[in-house]
């Protein structure tokens, strides 16, 4: 078989029109199905998340190695099969998105990284057994603290499911720990959390630290206190919240204004 013919089943409606303008976390979008496929959507709304397979129609197909420059131009080159870049011989996009609602032939989703007009080849439900809690991944380090913190926040929200105050505390703490120790999903990085269940859940989610096999995560439920202790190669970093802060302060204040760090 030398050629495969595919017919789009839907097209993306998105406020983003150019690939370069797509934010790293994707955008809220509508997937509008062709009328002849509407009955194939029956039962879809029972899922909270779906995989979207799209065709990046504006992407070059002749480039085999690139730098993940959007994240950090200083990173080394990777083969395109080792990345999820738009650029690849068959520019099939794979996106995991949250399903908001289905209205007739329109499927509303959150966080889709495909621009308006992108042909959609297929969608599939996301299942529990798609989840690998602590996979081995390369360290694609964001070029600035702001970007790294944004990537952690996105990850935290996907894991924790609500943007509560303690989620934001956990994101800031994790960003500080990443600046010190590097990749948070590293098998020799341990973390101890003393604080609320929301803080513990967030820190566990962004560090992928498990309770066992290997044992990287410990937690004590403590009221009115938020502290994380990160340990790697005999070095230890304690980050303790100084007081109560609102959403805005947790996004904008400097590390040393929010935390005692030692």
Residue range at the interface with Zn ion (CB under 5 A); choices 80-88, 169-177, 196-204, 206-214: 196-204
CA distance 60 to 74: 22
Beta bridge partners of 32: 11, 106
Q: Does 198 bind Zn ion (CB under 5 A)?
A: yes
CB of 231 to Zn ion, least distance (A): 25
CA distance 93 to 51: 10
Closer CB to Zn ion, residue 130 or residue 162? 162
Closer CB to Zn ion, residue 29 or residue 171? 171
CA distance 31 to 52: 9
Closer CB to Zn ion, residue 77 or residue 162? 162
Cα 66 versus chain centre, distance: 21
CB of 156 to Zn ion, least distance (A): 10
CB of 152 to Zn ion, least distance (A): 15
Q: Which of 137, 131, 59 is nearest to 92 (CA)?
A: 59
Contacts for 67-72: CB closer than 8 Å, 24+ residues apart:
68/140, 70/24, 71/24, 71/140, 71/141, 71/142, 71/143, 71/147, 71/151, 72/140, 72/141, 72/142, 72/143, 72/147
The string of DSSP letters for 54-118 reads EE-TTS-SS--EE--TTT-TTSPPEEGGGS--S-SSS-EEEEEEEEEEEETTEEEEEEE---TT-
Q: Does 156 bind Zn ion (CB under 5 A)?
A: no
Binding to Zn ion (CB under 5 A): which residues in 112-151?
Answer: none
Residue range at the interface with Zn ion (CB under 5 A); choices 32-40, 56-64, 90-98, 158-166: 158-166
Q: Does 165 bind Zn ion (CB under 5 A)?
A: no
CB of 165 to Zn ion, least distance (A): 8
Closer CB to Zn ion, residue 154 or residue 232? 154
Closer CB to Zn ion, residue 148 or residue 160? 160
CB of 12 to Zn ion, least distance (A): 31
Instruction: Compute the chain's Rg from CA coordinates.
Output: 20
CB of 85 to Zn ion, least distance (A): 33
CB of 162 to Zn ion, least distance (A): 5
Position among 71, 75, 92, 164 found at the interface with Zn ion (CB under 5 A): 164
Task: Using CB under 5 A, list all residues that contact Zn ion.
Answer: 162, 164, 198
């Amino acid at each position: 078989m030398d050629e495969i013919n595919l017919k789009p089943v839907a097209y993306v409606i998105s406020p983003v029109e150019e690939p370069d303008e797509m934010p790293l976390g994707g955008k809220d979008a509508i997937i509008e199905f062709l009328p002849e496929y509407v009955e194939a959507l029956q039962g879809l709304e029972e899922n909270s998340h779906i995989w979207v397979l799209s065709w990046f129609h504006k992407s070059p197909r002749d480039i085999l190695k690139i730098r993940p420059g959007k994240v950090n131009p200083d990173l080394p080159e990777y083969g395109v099969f080792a990345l999820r870049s738009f650029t690849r011989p068959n520019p099939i996009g794979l996106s995991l998105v949250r399903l908001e609602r289905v209205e007739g032939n329109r499927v509303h989703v959150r966080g889709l990284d495909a621009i308006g007009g992108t042909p959609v080849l297929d969608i599939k439900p996301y299942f529990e057994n798609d989840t690998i809690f602590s996979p081995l991944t390369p360290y694609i380090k964001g070029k600035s603290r702001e970007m790294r913190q944004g990537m952690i926040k996105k990850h935290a929200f996907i894991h924790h499911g609500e943007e509560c105050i303690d989620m934001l505390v956990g994101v800031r703490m994790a960003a500080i720990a990443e600046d010190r120790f590097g990749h948070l999903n590293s098998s020799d990085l341990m973390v101890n959390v003393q604080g609320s269940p929301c803080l513990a859940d967030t820190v566990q989610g962004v560090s992928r630290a498990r309770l066992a096999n290997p044992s990287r995560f410990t937690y004590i439920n403590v009221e009115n206190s938020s502290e994380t202790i990160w340990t790697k190669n005999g070095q230890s970093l304690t980050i303790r919240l100084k007081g109560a802060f609102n959403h805005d302060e947790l996004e904008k204040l400097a590390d040393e204004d929010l935390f005692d760090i030692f």
